[in-house]
Amino acid sequence: MAGRRTRALAGTLVTLVVGTSALLAPPASAHGPGGHHDDAARFAKQVTTRGVWRHLEELQRIADRHDGNRAALTEGYEASARYVERTLAKAGYHTKRDPFTFDLEVVDAASLTLSTGESYAVDQMQYAPNSPETGVSARASVPVDPTGCTADAWGDVETVGTIAVVSRGVCSFAQKAVTAEAAGAVGLVVYNNVEEMLFGTLSTEGLVQIPVAGMPMADGLAVVEAVTERGATLTLDTRFHTEERTSFNVIAETRAGRDDNVVMLGAHLDSVEEGPGINDNGSGSAVLLEVAVQLAKQKHHHNTVRFAWWGAEELGLIGSTEYVDELATRPGELDRIATYLNFDMVGSPNYIIGVYDADESTYEAPVDVPEGSAQTEAVLTGYFDRIGQPWVDTEFSGRSDYQAFILNGIPASGLFTGADDIKTDEEVALFGGTPGIRHDPSYHTAGDDLANVSREAIGIMAPAVAFATASLARDTSAINGVKGPGKPGHHPGPGRPGHPGKHHGHGPGGEHRHLERAS
């Protein structure tokens, strides 16, 4: 799941924490499109945990052989792609590499140095300007209200010409930055309210003219102590430049099925640089791969099924965005896609069974939700209801590769077992596990290895992906009016009822810069 970002990814979708409902979501209809549940249920049984696990083991071996990761632009990613391609070719698919070029953001400086000698790592917030080449040096200011959200938070503290040091919380990073600059600060450091680096965004270009950075909570509190008790001054140095790079997605589709009605499924193949990424997102990639392998044995289905293993997701959803943007330049190509399903982290060790809340029954989405998305979600929730599996809604927030699809009016939903949110007592009652810790305690770390993946979660999610694939391969009538074989009122061609038309997507971006949260 995206933990990095592209500078060109505009603030249309402010990235939010992917949450879960506190209670079991109300059951959706148990009937997917066409009512061919028995066939889809039989196919679901063919996609097994054992089959998925073989792919996960290979992805772990690849990471082990390539500096412990499978990140974009590395040999580990290339080896991961070759494995997917070999496996698909053996199953009978013709695969295609879909290349894209983008501007990679390369960090030149990311430090906060104190006059007392200490130096701390920081992360330049998205859309914050570079500092001067030598950094900006000034005495520090700390507000009376640590969050620094309003002018009143500063009280009588002198802020003009200072580097402001504030805590995360209460308001957005953008508001903190605007408030600090208006008070005369020449820089802003926001420290986290949890024990990890703060990767933030100001959500839009040109909001302020001062450098803004995030840092971990413990480091931030140490800086506050040094400032308030020892009078330390600060030097904030945060700079980056861009370099053009090229990566690729891996695309494959079934030989069978009508070409004017395509069901598309995707999972990002790259990891972060910090670790092997076996849950994020080896789990989604492996499930998708096993579904594709088993689907190739089904010689007859009504709709084309297209699979995508996305590149450079962890650098800012780049591969999927570039793919959709390119399709948008070709008349009718986006209209061929009936719906898109995304699978990013489906094996979290402290898992939930989450379905993207496309019908907004629990969470209001921060974008217009394309028509047909709720019906796509209902295929997944209907399957869980049929087998008596509890599930919860997760925010339809655009934090993964479905973002470009929904921005371009394509229906979407997907599955998710949790990332960095804290598991609640209510979730434990539904799914077991440990309350008070993250759904994936090893999220974006070196610990995201094979031991970090829950076999139980895979055993629930893999058949659900398979069921949805088989069901939609036969009939998407509930989503776009295209009937399955032998059904009356067969839709004569592509397109979605009430389709809002195409919108411009967003372009590429960079490295070592994280797409996380705006507050």
What is residue 252's three-state secondary structure? strand
What is residue 98's three-state secondary structure? strand
Q: What is the rounded distance in angstroms from the CA atom of residue 128 to the CA atom of residue 427?
A: 37
Buried b (16+ CB within 10 A) or exposed e, 185-200: bbbbbbbbeeeebbbb
Query: Which sign, positive or negative, has the C-alpha torsion 440, 444, 450, 451?
Result: negative
Q: Is 242 within 8 Å of 104 (Cβ atoms)?
A: yes
Annotated catalytic residue within 290, 313, 322, 377: 313
Name the residue among 393, 97, 451 with its Cα closest to residue 252.
97
CB atoms within 10 A of CB 259: 10
Q: What is the rounded distance in angstroms from the CA atom of residue 509 to the CA atom of residue 315?
A: 7
How buried is residue 341: exposed, middle or buried, by Cβ count under 10 Å (0-12/13-18/19+)? buried
Q: What are phi and psi of 158, to 5 degrees?
A: -75, 120
Angle in degrees, 0-180, between the axes of helices 373-387 and 37-46, rounded to the nearest 10: 70
DSSP assignment of 483-503 equals --TT-SS---SS--TT-----
CB atoms within 10 A of CB 416: 28
Q: What single-letter DSSP state applies at residue 34?
A: G
Residue 224 is which amino acid? V
Q: What is the rounded distance in angstroms from the CA atom of residue 473 to the CA atom of residue 303?
A: 5
Task: Please give the angle made by the CA atoms of 116, 122 and 125, to the nearest 5 degrees.
Answer: 135
Q: What is the rounded distance in angstroms from the CA atom of residue 390 to the CA atom of residue 427?
A: 10
Strand partners, 105: 242
Name the residue among 203, 323, 343 with its Cα closest to residue 269.
343
Query: Which sign, positive or negative, has the C-alpha torsion 182, 185, 186, 188?
Result: negative
CB atoms within 10 A of CB 364: 9
> Does residue 225 have an active-site annotation?
no
In the chain, what's the furthest Cα-to-Cα distance? 80
Q: What is the rounded distance in angstroms from the CA atom of residue 229 to the CA atom of residue 244?
A: 46
Q: What is the rounded distance in angstroms from the CA atom of residue 147 to the CA atom of residue 153?
A: 8
| Active site residue ranges | 313
